[in-house]
Structure 1
Amino acid sequence: MNKKSSCCAICENSNRASICPICVNYRLNEYSTLLKSLNSRRDSLYSKLSVVLVAKGKADDQFNWRVQQNEKLAILREKLHRNKEQLAQGKAKVEKLSQDLKKKNGMLESARNVLEKNRVEQLEKFYPNFICTQSLGHMAITSELLHKQSVVIKQICKLFPQRRVNVDGDRNFSGQYDQICNARLPRGLDPHSVSSEELAAALGYMVQLLNLVAHNLAAPTIHNAGFAGSCSRIWQRDSYWNACPSSRSNEYPLFIPRQNYCSTSAENSWTDKSSSNFGVASMESERRLHLDSTRSNSFNYSSVSPHSVETHKDLQKGVSLLKKSVACVTAYCYNLLCLDVPSDMSTFEAFAKLLSTLSSSKEVRSVFNLKMACSRSCKQVQKLNKSVWDVNSAISSSALLESAHALQLMKNTCYNNLPNSTASFIFATEISDGKNESFIDGWDLVEHPTFPPPPSQVEDIEHWTRAMFIDATKK
């Protein structure tokens, strides 16, 4: 039996299977190549689509951000518009209130002027005698105060006599000196222009005198001084409320420390009650003979120890502070008396002359009378009504007349009669060359009105009230 011949359905070759392997492989390769090309195309299209999607996402984000910002800007513009409207309304309201206040101020000013005018008319019409009586009473009190003040100052001058002496015959200490209680005061800012014993004693006396005068005359003192005999010290107070120095180094001695003893301990303060020599620690240098024993008027900085130089400078600062305090009190009292501060005198000499003037009631009265003779007019004298002189009080007519000069003078003190001495003032650390020893030329003080005592001093307030308002008007 013969076999049937078969052929490939694809290549149609005979004697082959229905689908020959060659055709199968060919077709598979063809399909594989096509599949690979389609796969690569798909990948490229996918990457392009990813790039497009990323760009579209960014564009959408930017668009959304712009939309949000535009919404915020719209809200802010609306808020700004509302604030501008509120500001305009507030300005209009403020302008209206300002105009109302101006109107009210004008009304108040006119009312105040009318009241002032009425007050002046009432005083001129109904109270001239009362005013004159009060003024004369105040004048009498001022006159009595000046008299008692002169008595006190005279006693102080007896306790601390001052004078200008001329020393001859001494090779180291010759010339003119200011003297207090027979102890010579230093010339200029040179503490070695006098002996150490005289220096300590004289400056101690001057400290005590200055404290007494400032207390009795109610004069200002710009420095605080601690009186301890020949071991006194002076310092600048720390503040208005604290009278102590800011530090112990700002406390300057008014004496040359004694020999044969040296101590730099901080415990040796002048306020230490347990220490000897009034609590002041003396200091000693290796070359002390340059400080005192040679009795020289100059100080050689190059030949002494640094400790001695520092001690010398502290002493100079102390003398300078003391002179400034004396100059302040002197200028204040001269301005109070409407006198020119003597410019040709030293600080201590002008202070002594001031105390001599204040201790003499006749001299003070003559100064007041001389000033008042130039300032009072005949018209002011005629204005005093007859009824004023008929007041039956404990004040005598002569006392009232004398005190009238004093009160008017006190009123014109800070306006008309201040001296013109306004030269520059010597600083505390500067060293004078001896040409001009006056520390007064910088002080030009203004007199302030006299007020009642502080509320804590009840007894003083009662005396002050009785003297000013009751005794002066008693009939």
Structure 2
Amino acid sequence: MMSKKPSNCAICDNSNRASICSVCVNYRLNEYNSFLKSLESRRDLLYSKLSVVLAAKGKTDDQLNWKIRQNEKLTNLKEKLRRSKEQLAQGKAKIERVSHDLKVKYGMLESVRGTLEKNRVEQLEKFYPNLIVTLSSGHRAITSDRLHKQSVVIKQICKLFPQRHVNLEGERRDGSSGQYDLICNARLPRGLDPHSVPSEELAASLGYMVQLLNLVVHNLAAPALHNSGFAGSCSRIWQRDSYWNARPSSRSNEYPLFIPRQNYCSTSGDNSWTDRSSSNFGVASMESERRFRLDSSGSNSFNYSPASPHTVETHKDLQKGISLLKKSVACITAYCYNSLCLDVPAEASTFEAFSKLLAALSSTKEVPSVMSLKMACSRIEIFFLTIKCEG
């Protein structure tokens, strides 16, 4: 309780009793009310300070709790990493052990297999000595018979399409001279120049070569780099569309092996070159009158400047056709020479090397001797092949 303070009232002050008059009572009540208000303001001030302190403490506690949780997660991850490393090391060790065991087993298997193969060879040599000789002799006989029949066929083909390499001394009427390759007495072009020989002779010789190439590919089972269609002096060559489709992918990929008689490289733009949709391969008339030859002037080059664009394009197509034909001939020549274990003649033209190849294939003595040498070198391979067939 509050201590009693002196009052201005004489009655209340002298009686030493509680205030009984209204003035003293009101005075004491007002004084007590003021004291309560001061305490309330102090309480509010302390409560606000306490709230700030509690909020700061709450944030600090939250941070400490988050740090504790993160430390626990980090500890768990480190433990998980340690276990993963241990498992990885154990797995590597297991793989190494298994690999070592497999290598040992494979070594044992290879050793046992080598022993078995050696025993099989010994048993075959001991109990079946004539079997290997019989099979080898049969293989040589079949090969020899095949080569003989092949040489007969090639000899007949060479009689139908004789080839030779000539050197024209002097100068002919058409201005040609030097070395040429002939097929059926028709000169083949030199290089990719379609004007190195007369136009009729060019078309005929390239047509002969197309037919000869098709016959050789069929009889020798040689790979054909390009496809060609024989149509006499109007033959063509093209790159096949795919392995299954022998037709060209488009008409623009089909190249002529002849110069049409329609314009003979005329400088005027009125005469058109070959119409590839026509049935006569772009030739206006097979009985058309003779016109001025391309190379009657004796020049092996053609001046494209006064010619029409269509003429220039057709000349390029003709050169492309000659290039494809020579590539096909060179491919078959290289394939056959490699199959015979022979070297391609050095410093020989494409058509000359091809003619020498056909002469070698048509010989009944040269090819069997080469093949007998080849078979003698591969006798060991035939021996092991026979053993595998018996197994």
With the length of structure 1 as denominator, give the TM-score of the two structures.
Answer: 0.60
- From 312, 315, 334, the counterpart of 2:315: 312
Q: How does 1:419-458 map to 2 (within 5 A)?
A: none
2:350 aligns to what?
A: 347
Paired with 1:60 and 1:302, the residues of 2 have a C-alpha distance of 97
Alignment-derived partner of residue 139 in structure 2: 138
Q: In structure 1, what is the Cα distance between the partners aligned to 2:303 and 2:345? A: 34
Give, in angstroms, the shift of residue 276 of structure 1: 1.6
For 2:173, which of 170, 173, 184 is the aligned residue?
Answer: 170
Cα shift at 1:312: 2.4
- Give, as a single letter, the amino acid of the residue that structure 2 aligns with 1:159: L
2:231 corresponds to: 228
How far the C-alpha of 1:50 sits from its partner, in A, is 8.5
Letter of the 1:196 counterpart: S
Q: CA deviation at 1:187?
A: 0.4
Matched, 1:262 2:269: no
Which of 329, 341, 349 pairs up with 1:338? 341
- 2:116 is aligned to 115
CA distance, structure 2, for counterparts of residue 56 and residue 231 of structure 1: 105
Q: What is the CA–CA distance in structure 2 between the aligned matches of 1:49 and 1:198, rounded to whole Å? A: 120
Residue 78 (structure 2) pairs with residue 77 (structure 1): yes
What does residue 195 of structure 1 align with? 198
Q: How far 1:292 sits from its partner (Å)?
A: 6.1
Counterpart position of 1:182:
185
Alignment correspondent of 1:402 = none
Quick check: 1:325 aligned with 2:328? yes
Give the superposition deviation at 1:348.
0.7
The SS at the match of 2:182 is: strand
Matching residue of 1:128 = 129
Gaps of 5+ in 1: 1-8, 10-18, 20-30, 270-274, 283-288, 372-405, 414-447, 450-468, 470-475
Asked if the contact 2:227–2:246 (Cα under 8 Å) also holds between the matched residues in 1, the reply is yes
Query: Residue 94 of structure 2 aligns with which residue?
Result: 93
Residue identity matched to 1:409: K
Structure 1 residue aligned with 2:211: 208
The Cα shift of 1:154 comes to 1.5
Which of these two proteins has the greater Rg computed from alpha carbons?
Answer: 2
Match of 2:28 in 1: none
Equivalent-residue separation in structure 1 for 2:204 and 2:376 (angstroms):
40
Q: In the alignment, is the contact (CA less than 8 A) between 1:357 and 1:363 conserved in 2?
A: yes
8 Å Cα contact 1:180-1:205 kept in structure 2: yes
CA distance in 2, matches of 1:71, 1:315: 85
CA drift of 1:130 comes to 1.9
Residue 93 of structure 1, CA deviation:
1.8
Unaligned runs of 5+ in 2: 1-8, 10-22, 24-33, 264-270, 285-291, 383-388
Q: Within 5 Å, which residues of 2 pair with 1:13-162?
A: 59=60, 62-162=63-163
Cα offset for 1:148?
A: 0.7
The question of whether the paired residues in 2 share the 8 Å contact of 1:224 and 1:234 is answered with yes
Match of 1:317, SS?
A: helix
| Counterpart secondary structure, 2:195 | helix
Instruction: State, as a whole percentage, how many aligned pairs show the same letter.
Output: 72
CA pair 264-49 structure 1, distance change in 2 beyond 3 A: farther
CA contact (8 A) 1:172 1:297 kept: no
**Structure 2 SS opposite 1:361:** coil
Give me the CA root mean square deviation.
3.9
Check 1:73–1:226 CA distance in 2 against 1; reply closer, same or farther (3 A cut). Answer: farther
**Cα deviation code 1:272-297 (max 9, x no counterpart):** xxx3214x589xxxxxx997675631
1:238–1:246 CA contact under 8 A, matched in 2: yes
1:250 aligned residue: 253
How far residue 185 of structure 1 moved from its aligned partner, in angstroms, is 0.8
SS of corresponding position for 2:181? strand
Aligned partners of 2:259, 2:69: CA distance in 1, in Å? 87
Q: Is the 8 A contact 1:225 1:232 kept in 2?
A: yes
- Residue 353 of structure 1, CA deviation: 1.9
Give, as a single letter, the amino acid of the residue that structure 2 aligns with 1:164.
H
